[in-house]
């Protein structure tokens, strides 16, 4: 029986040619742009370490209106925190850069013989900055609780018989975003948007890990007004970063903390999200009144959309209206430090401004419709990027960036809010030892199996490139993905 000869020399050559052609056809479907950049892109985006990942990249010279490179730019991917670019840019246009959130402080009842027979009420209208550490300088000069005390002193009030109430009923939805991961919402970055927020809706737990046992010892909680029943299952380990996680029910103060934190620390901070910000604000205001020698009963209460119907029989007298910093300042902090809570509140107020509705869905709709003309529909499920349901393409991000640079009247406010490579904010440790330092302004995005970067590149004084890169489902460690993003940018635009 004669053996079959499958290949000869010519067969191998033919198969090799077919393989090359097939590879080029496949790549031509996903990679387009200037030939110089395409040539570089072959090695950068077909690296074997990307196997199993989805990588998308779009770069456009927005001065000369020329796409330089587009790799899978039409794919809708999970973008993480660069969603804040879309939210803050739309917010500047919908609300205006001078917009200020307000908070009202007043009372119900009557004042007679230095006694207020009624309640003190602090009503929030969505201000996320109330006593925020990011605006410490602002509250040193604009302290709403002190202003209320001054007004009450002028009225001669020395005693209050009723409650101190935190009113968050302005929001129709004071609950976590429905598409957020449960494991996020009790931690600081998953702080729930609330019409009456305070301290970024965050609290801090301080642990000692000096003990020879591996159990972390809770030292104290700040602010002390946060009511929390904590089950501490936190252990110490030979690690250098925080690997803890807090779990909590959305309606009560019972929490459990698990995971690991570094050993041999006198005081190690772990941050969680306040479950009842309106109640915390009421307690803080009550303590301020007591400090001013105004007698107040111990009862505090919080109004939410699910436990409150307006009582029109009680007249509410406003004593002080507090205004937040301007939106342009809030946008600056939001993008520079990637503050989820600020972005969510901006989104809610966009929904209120357009539709008189404060649900997250209407906020998303207001933002989506603003961009529809420039980007087409985006799958937008929150304002911060914490939702894994968000699906937006790199092309859409570049369209937003191009509009803000070339057409927006709020270009300056938006551009200045972006971190500078190697210098500021969340970009401080990227490109810090490279030629690109100071020549890129961009927003980062990071969550498990997601890494993104979007903004502007200035390789020389005459060129401005709007770009976006999104990587999903990569098995690579986060720090290695960061290095590869740096490598891509540097080799494409700085060599």
Structure tokens at 45: 């985006």
Residue 485: CB atoms within 10 A of its CB come to 20
Q: How confident is the model at residue 267, as a pLDDT?
A: 94
Q: Is the pLDDT of residue 42 over 50?
A: yes
Domain boundaries, the chain: 34-96+328-493, 102-173+277-324, 198-273
Predicted pLDDT at 305: 87
Confidence of residue 47 (pLDDT cuts 50, 70, 90): confident
Kindly tell me if the per-residue pLDDT of 5 is higher than 50: no
User: What pLDDT score was predicted for residue 212?
Assistant: 66
- Which residue shows structure tokens 């740096």? 486
Task: Return the higher-pLDDT residue of 293 and 41.
Answer: 293
* pLDDT tens sequence across 270-311: 999 999 999 999 999 999 999 999 999 888 999 998 887 777
Q: Are 261 and 218 in contact (CB under 8 A)?
A: no
What percent of the chain is modeled with pLDDT above 70? 94
CA–CA distance, 129 with 393 (Å, rounded to integer): 31
**If you average pLDDT over residues 445-461, what whole number do you get?**
95
Please tell me the distance from the alpha carbon of residue 232 to that of residue 376, in angstroms, as a whole number: 48
pLDDT, tens digit, for every residue of 128-171?
999 999 999 999 999 999 999 999 999 999 999 999 999 999 99
CA-closest candidate to residue 119, choices 324, 302, 327: 302
CATH architecture of 34-96+328-493: 3-Layer(aba) Sandwich (3.40)
Could you say which architecture CATH assigns to the domain 102-173+277-324? 3-Layer(bba) Sandwich (3.50)
On the question of pLDDT at 18 being above 50, the answer is: no
- How confident is the model over 401-442, as pLDDT tens digits? 999 999 999 999 999 999 999 999 999 999 999 999 999 999
pTM metric for this prediction: 0.92
Query: What's the whole-number mean pLDDT along residues 82-100?
Result: 98
* CA–CA gap between residue 66 and residue 157 (Å, rounded): 68
Residue 10 has pLDDT above 80, yes or no: no
Q: Residue 108 has what pLDDT?
A: 95
Residue 3's pLDDT is 40
Q: How far is CA 31 from CA 157, 183, 464, 478, in A?
A: 72, 37, 21, 25
Mean pLDDT of the chain: 91
Higher pLDDT among residues 429 and 29, named by residue: 429
Q: Residue 20: which pLDDT band, with cuts at 50, 70 and 90? A: very low
Q: Name the more confident of 315 and 444.
A: 444
Helix%, strand%, coil% for the chain, nearest 5: 35, 25, 40
How far apart (Å, rounded) are the C-alpha atoms in residues 182 and 174?
16
Confidence check: pLDDT of 252 > 90: no
């Amino acid at each position: 029986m004669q053996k079959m000869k499958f290949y000869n020399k010519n067969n191998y050559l033919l198969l090799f040619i077919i393989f090359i052609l097939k590879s080029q056809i496949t790549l031509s479907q996903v990679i387009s742009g200037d030939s110089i950049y395409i040539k570089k892109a072959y090695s950068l985006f077909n690296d074997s370490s990307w196997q199993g990942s989805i990588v998308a990249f779009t770069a456009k010279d927005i001065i000369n209106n020329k796409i330089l490179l587009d790799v899978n730019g039409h794919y809708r991917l999970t973008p993480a925190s660069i969603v804040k670019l879309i939210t803050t840019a739309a917010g500047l246009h919908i609300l205006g850069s001078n917009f200020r959130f307000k908070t009202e402080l007043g009372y119900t009842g009557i004042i007679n013989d230095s006694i207020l027979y009624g309640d003190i009420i602090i009503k929030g209208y969505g201000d996320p900055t109330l006593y925020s550490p990011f605006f410490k300088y602002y509250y040193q000069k604009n302290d709403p609780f002190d202003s209320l005390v001054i007004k009450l002193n002028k009225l001669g009030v020395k005693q209050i018989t009723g409650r101190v109430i935190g009113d968050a009923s302005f929001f129709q939805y004071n609950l976590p975003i429905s598409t957020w991961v449960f494991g996020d919402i009790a931690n600081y970055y998953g702080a729930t948007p609330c019409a009456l927020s305070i301290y970024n809706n965050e609290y801090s737990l301080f642990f000692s890990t000096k003990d020879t046992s591996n159990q972390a010892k809770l030292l104290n909680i700040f602010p002390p007004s946060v009511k929390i029943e904590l089950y501490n299952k936190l252990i110490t380990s030979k690690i250098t970063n925080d690997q803890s996680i807090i779990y909590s029910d959305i309606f009560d103060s019972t929490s459990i903390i698990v995971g690991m934190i570094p050993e041999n620390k006198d005081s190690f901070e772990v941050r969680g999200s306040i479950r009842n910000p309106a109640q915390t604000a009421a307690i803080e205001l009550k303590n301020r009144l007591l400090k001013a020698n105004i007698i107040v009963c111990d009862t505090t209460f919080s109004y939410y959309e699910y436990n409150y119907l307006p009582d029109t029989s009680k007249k509410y007298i406003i004593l002080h209206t507090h205004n937040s910093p301007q939106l342009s300042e809030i946008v600056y902090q939001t993008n520079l430090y990637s503050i989820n809570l600020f972005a969510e509140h901006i989104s809610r107020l966009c929904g209120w401004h357009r539709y008189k509705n404060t649900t997250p869905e209407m906020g998303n709709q207001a933002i989506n419709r603003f961009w529809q003309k420039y980007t087409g529909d985006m799958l937008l499920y929150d304002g911060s990027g914490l939702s894994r349901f968000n699906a937006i393409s790199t092309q859409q991000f570049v369209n937003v960036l191009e509009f803000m640079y070339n057409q927006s009247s709020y270009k300056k406010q938006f551009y200045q809010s972006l971190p500078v490579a190697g210098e500021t904010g969340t970009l401080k440790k990227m490109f810090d030892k490279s030629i690109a330092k100071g020549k890129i302004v961009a927003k980062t995005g990071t969550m498990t199996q997601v890494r993104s970067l979007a903004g502007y590149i200035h390789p020389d004084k005459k060129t401005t490139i709007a770009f976006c890169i999104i990587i999903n489902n990569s098995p690579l460690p986060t720090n290695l993905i960061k290095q590869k993003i740096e490598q891509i940018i540097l080799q494409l635009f700085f060599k």
